[in-house]
């Protein structure tokens, strides 16, 4: 009997670890237990390639090898790092959203830091002249309006113009699905630079290949790239970020809600900037008496100095306990909150008024389409809204297949 019970236990254990016949959130839970190994952690794959080269590194606080900043780790391996290039939020990740970042010298290593979010957006000819290779290692979150893919393209352009190779240490995309309207290039801006949907379903390494393949660099230049792929990764996996990517994406919950809630940046509804729970709550003073949950945005240095509705109580939705794994498994951005908040909003003429919201961009630029705002106002059913994204969305998915490195 003991032998039978033991064999039954082993059989049940094996079945519990088999994810191929499961679906939805359960399969996402199973595959998320696989050890994912980012490119940076695979030192044996690229350390010999860095030997005897002067290196420039495009990095921020998400650039880790194990638990240690990649700059520190590579210096310990005697890699000659000549320059650090810092993106939005700075090398240490402590600058506020949209804040200009100045050049400086890193106090811990003595290495010059050239800001790519201040006076310039890409390395200059003079910056690159002393380098043999540029290394790009930054965690992206997989959204068109998250500026890291813009930084990638600017760095690729500079490398292409100056005949420098770009080594990409790839990292998983926490929002690895494809959804949303494809950007109307008439709305091209700093929060929408490429003809891609809201969630593009690509890692940085894959996206770099797409930039080259689609001829998106100026004059269709080609950048020499080498990608160190992530091991044990697939796009439908839930990936727990070891370091949060920016001051206002400060929880895993906010990272997974970001594709759906960032659209509110083009409205008069706060997404929680000015609190320690950004992109997990929604609210406005106009919604008092309609919702019970409330929060009050305040000035928080390094996060949001002048948030929308500063020092005014906002009423709305608390999404901190929303099942984001289920959202991820659906492979869709969530439109119900946008529809719900617009219907509940009493002063509808103010809802999409960017001049009032003072946020990062107007709604059409965030959506990538002039239609979505009109559809929300007109009460168009969600299925009809989604149908309007075709055939551009399906065409994008077809083009994307040429560049993916992971299933």
Both tokens assigned to 15: 């079945």
pLDDT in tens, the chain (407 residues): 433 344 333 333 333 333 333 333 433 433 445 699 999 999 999 999 999 999 999 999 999 999 999 999 999 999 999 999 988 655 765 444 455 566 888 888 899 999 887 788 899 999 999 999 999 999 999 999 998 999 999 999 999 999 999 999 999 999 999 999 999 999 999 999 999 999 999 999 999 999 999 999 999 999 999 999 999 999 999 899 999 898 999 999 999 999 999 999 999 999 999 999 999 999 999 999 999 999 999 999 988 999 999 999 999 999 999 999 999 999 999 999 999 999 999 999 999 976 555 544 589 999 999 999 999 999 999 999 999 999 999 999 999 999 999 99
Gap between the Cα atoms of 114 and 125, Å rounded: 13
Gap between the Cα atoms of 119 and 101, Å rounded: 8
CB 246 within 8 A of CB 89: yes
pTM: 0.87
For 297: left if phi > 0, alpha if psi spans -120 to 50, otherwise beta; the answer is beta
Both tokens assigned to 260: 């759906």
Torsion of Cα atoms, 94 then 95 then 101 then 107, to 10°? -20
CB 185 within 8 A of CB 218: no
CB neighbour list of residue 368: distance below 8 Å, 6 or more residues apart: 144, 180, 181, 182, 183, 184, 187, 192, 197, 198
pLDDT tens readout for residues 41-91: 999 999 999 999 999 999 999 999 999 999 999 999 999 999 999 886 557
pLDDT tens readout for residues 109-145: 899 999 887 788 899 999 999 999 999 999 999 999 9
CB 110 within 8 A of CB 84: no
Tokens 């794959």 sit at which residue? 45
CB neighbour list of residue 202: distance below 8 Å, 6 or more residues apart: 142, 173, 210, 400, 403, 404
Torsion of Cα atoms, 7 then 13 then 19 then 20, to 10°? 0
CATH for the stretch 39-228? 3.40.50.12170
Our measurement of the distance from residue 21's CA atom to the centroid of its chain's CA atoms, rounded to an integer in Å, reads 30
CB 218 within 8 A of CB 161: no
Domain residue extents for the chain = 39-228, 252-369
């Amino acid at each position: 009997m003991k032998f039978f019970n033991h064999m039954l236990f082993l059989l049940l254990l094996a079945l519990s670890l088999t994810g191929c016949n499961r679906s939805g959130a359960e399969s996402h839970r199973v595959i998320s237990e696989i050890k994912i190994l980012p490119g940076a952690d695979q030192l044996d794959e690229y350390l010999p390639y860095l030997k005897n080269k002067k290196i420039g590194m495009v990095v921020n606080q998400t650039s880790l090898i194990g638990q240690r900043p990649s700059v520190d780790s590579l210096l310990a391996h005697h890699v000659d790092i000549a320059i650090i290039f810092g993106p939005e939020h700075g090398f240490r990740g402590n600058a506020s959203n949209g804040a200009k970042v100045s050049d400086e010298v890193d106090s811990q290593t003595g290495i010059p830091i050239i800001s790519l979010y201040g006076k310039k957006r890409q390395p200059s000819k003079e910056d690159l002249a002393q380098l043999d290779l540029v290394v790009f290692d930054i965690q992206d979150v997989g959204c068109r309006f998250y500026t890291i893919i813009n930084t990638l393209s600017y760095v690729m352009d500079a490398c292409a113009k100056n005949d420098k190779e770009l080594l990409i240490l790839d990292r998983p995309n926490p929002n690895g699905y494809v959804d949303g309207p494809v950007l109307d290039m008439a709305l091209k801006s700093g929060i929408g630079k490429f003809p891609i949907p809201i969630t593009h379903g690509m890692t940085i390494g894959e996206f770099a290949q797409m930039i080259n393949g689609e001829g998106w660099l100026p004059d269709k230049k080609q950048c020499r790239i080498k990608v160190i792929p992530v091991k044990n990764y697939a796009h439908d996996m839930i990936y727990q970020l070891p370091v949060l990517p920016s001051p206002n994406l400060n929880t895993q919950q906010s990272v997974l809600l970001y594709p759906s809630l960032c659209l509110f940046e083009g409205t008069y509804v706060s997404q929680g900037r000015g609190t320690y729970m950004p992109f997990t709550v929604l609210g406005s003073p106009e919604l008092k008496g309609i919702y019970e949950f409330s929060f009050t945005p305040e000035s928080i240095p390094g996060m949001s100095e002048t948030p929308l509705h500063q020092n005014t109580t906002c009423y709305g939705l608390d999404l901190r306990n929303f099942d984001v794994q289920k959202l991820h498994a659906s492979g869709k951005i969530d439109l119900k909150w946008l529809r719900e908040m617009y219907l509940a909003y009493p002063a509808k003429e103010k809802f999409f008024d960017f001049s009032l919201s003072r946020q990062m961009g107007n709604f059409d630029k965030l959506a990538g389409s002039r239609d979505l705002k009109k559809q929300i106002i007109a009460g168009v059913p969600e299925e009809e809204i989604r149908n309007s994204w075709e055939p551009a969305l399906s065409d994008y998915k077809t083009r994307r297949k040429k560049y993916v490195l992971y299933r």
